[in-house]
Amino acid sequence: MVRVATVEKDLCNPRKCQLECVRFCPVNRAGRKAVEVPEELGKARIYEEVCVGCGICVRKCPFQAISIVNLPDELEKRVVHRYGPNAFKLYGLPVPQEGRVVGIIGRNGVGKTTAVRILAGEIVPNLGRYDLKPSWDEVLKFFRGTELYNYFSKLADRKLRVVHKIQHVDLVRSYVRGYVGEVLERIDERGILGEVRRDLDLGKLFDKKVPTLSGGELQKVTVTAALLRSADVYVFDEPASYLDVSERLRVARAIRTYIPKNSYALVVEHDLAVVDYVADLVSVVYGEPGVYGIYSKVYSVGSGVNHFLTGYLPAENVRIRSEPVVFNMQPEQRLVELGSKPVYLSWPSMSKELDGFRLEVEGGEVRVGEVVGVVGPNGIGKTTFARLIVGELEPDEGYVPFRGLRISYKPQYIKVESYPWTTVGEALEELTKEGIASSEWFGEEVIRKFRLHRIRDKRISELSGGELQRFSIAVALARDAELYVLDEPSAFLDVDERLAVARAIRKIIEGRKTACLVVDHDLMLIDYISDRIIVFSGEPGVSGRSVGPLDVRRGMNSLLRELEVTFRRDVKTGRPRINKPGSYLDRYLKSIGEYYYTKPAEEAPSS
């Protein structure tokens, strides 16, 4: 067995602890301890070749900064990169395929961005020898006889031009100046700006300055900039973040349409519906976040996503998930069960005009134990609706329906100053004193699955986007409320975190016999969690109107008809899958007006 030990520098603080990891580490036969705290590192150092894997330091560390895992010896032959002593370790890489789009899926912190940076030539892999300067000669020798050899040969000889659409698009504001139109015209090497502008609906952005763009606008501009470049390798790191449903599909369609046929393309994405649509092949990366990551072989996109959800990779004979994720393949049965439950809360028809935007809300109700999804484009009034429901806004017509009701609200934009605590630990200690939050189930399924126990000592003001999202959802679910309203809970979260959030919401709402409204753009999450959905339509930024709650089938049909996209059900997992435009099933479903097919694909009519 090979031991991989990691020490998170942000968590490890030798000055605040009694160095219990050193004090309790047993002396081995050579008379040497496996743990020490070198002055120059500023954190504990674990010597993996000396460590016996007793786990004492892991249990004794008051900050939970240490992780030690045992892995098979064979894996050491696949070490591609390590950032430093007791830092993240990467095994294997996805294999780019000429003329095909390779999707990469997996949890946050298991090496997706590291891998694409290596394949983009931004990092020369050190093959695990972090104390030596890596060279391309060693890399080529390491990959000789593999599919990656030819790719790295071209990359080392600078015969491949790479365009990399980065994950954190907000950084673009700091480096790019000028108007969007001028910037894009300057870099249009392929002469396709007109077509991409039309397909991504960029007309309104051309007269805006880049630093003033919102996150979603920046995302579309950076994707456009990548497509306009003439390159051999195109890398898109999370191209769907910040975007609504319609924009995600536009971006996915543009990537498939405008990537040159003989180029390499890599897409890292958490929205599995987008991955399913844009990719031809998929590589699954699994492991322990922040500790190690292992890349699977390349699968066909349908099989790869299914293997990821079922939790078993047949080519590697590895189980990566304790329980498979299975979607509801009989939404009609869900409606029958829901119909037997009493109406829990109802709201009247309302209207609100805000900064030139007018919203019309149709009256509706939720039933006991029901989760209602809220879908629609950006700028169409979903957040305004949520604020009307929780009483943050007064309607111009109608009335605030739930005044005096205990409502737990997780807003779209989280304000750190709204929390009365300094650290995550203080919040968890207070919130878990009583009620369901004090139960063993909440500690395991929410606190541990959201990985909040790893950041107990972090200040709330220092949390990253994903950490702050998970913390805010946990705080909202820990409160004893009569109605829960969660606005975009999937933002910044990976697939496993989204599924953990979905399971926690359903369990708490059903257990407490309350109700929940979930506003989100991830259609797979909405399908997984919702009993019914509210659909918003209209003209973004001008007017919006809501319809529903409708059953999932009717609601999705209403939404997808406007987007001119059809879905089918996967046979094995029941997950919704986007049909390729112009395919037989796409044409058939449009002909019968059934945009959200509720039967598995094998039950669909054959050609």
Q: Identify the domain containing residue 237 by its residue range.
A: 77-309
State the Rg of the chain over Cα.
25
**CA nearest neighbour of 6 among 100, 106, 82:** 82
Residue 282 and residue 299 in contact, taking contact as beta carbons nearer than 8 Å? yes
State residue 135 phi and psi, 5-degree precision: -130, 150
Do residues 484 and 409 both lie within one domain?
yes
Do residues 248 and 390 both lie within one domain?
no
Write the DSSP string, 335-361.
HHHHHTSPEEEEE--EEEEETTEEEEE
Do residues 450 and 524 both lie within one domain?
yes
Would you state the pLDDT for residue 299?
A: 94
Residue type, 248: R
Do residues 574 and 595 both lie within one domain?
yes
List the Cα angle 118/123/126 in 5-degree steps: 95
Residue 53: give its domain's CATH number. Answer: 3.30.70.20
Do residues 166 and 262 both lie within one domain?
yes
Residue 525: give its domain's CATH number. Answer: 3.40.50.300
Quote the pTM value: 0.83
Report the alpha-carbon distance of residue 536 to residue 544 in Å, rounded. Answer: 7
Whose structure tokens read 């983009």?
Answer: 120
Cβ–Cβ contacts within 10 Å for residue 413, how many?
8
Alpha helical stretches, state H, 95-214: 112-119, 136-142, 148-156, 172-175, 180-186, 193-199
Report the alpha-carbon distance of residue 302 to residue 306 in Å, rounded. Answer: 6
Residue 558 lies in a domain: no
Q: What is the pLDDT of residues 192-234, one digit of tens each?
A: 999 999 999 888 888 888 888 877 888 899 999 999 999 999 9
58-90 CB burial, b ≥16 within 10 A, e <16: bebbebbbbbbbebeeebeeebbbbeebbbbbb
Do residues 284 and 148 both lie within one domain?
yes
Residue 502 lies in a domain: yes
Residue 305 lies in a domain: yes
Residue 557 lies in a domain: no
Do residues 184 and 293 both lie within one domain?
yes
Residue 323 lies in a domain: no
Do residues 103 and 216 both lie within one domain?
yes
Do residues 394 and 495 both lie within one domain?
yes
Would you state the pLDDT for residue 340?
A: 63
- Coil vs helix vs strand at 61: coil
Do residues 26 and 126 both lie within one domain?
no
Would you state the pLDDT for residue 286?
A: 92
Do residues 573 and 542 both lie within one domain?
no
List the Cα angle 518/520/525 in 5-degree steps: 85
Do residues 53 and 9 both lie within one domain?
yes
Residue 578 lies in a domain: yes
Largest Cα separation within the chain, whole Å, is: 80
Residue 100 lies in a domain: yes
Residue 66 and residue 57 in contact, taking contact as beta carbons nearer than 8 Å? yes
Which parts of the chain sit beneath pLDDT 70?
29-30, 40-41, 328-340, 434-436, 598-607
Residue type, 216: G
Residue 405 and residue 346 in contact, taking contact as beta carbons nearer than 8 Å? no
For residue 44, what are the β-bridge partners?
none
Report the alpha-carbon distance of residue 98 to residue 508 in Å, rounded. Answer: 47
- CA distances to 117, 428, 455, 595 from 419, in Å: 37, 12, 16, 43
477-506 CB burial, b ≥16 within 10 A, e <16: bbeebbbbbbbbbbbbbbbbbbbbbbbbbb
Residue type, 295: Y
Residue 17 lies in a domain: yes
First to last CA, the chain: 52
Domain end point (choices 71, 91, 126)? 71
Two structure tokens written together for 497: 């975190």
What's the total number of domains in the chain?
A: 4
Cβ–Cβ contacts within 10 Å for residue 370, how many?
23
Residue 135 and residue 148 in contact, taking contact as beta carbons nearer than 8 Å? no
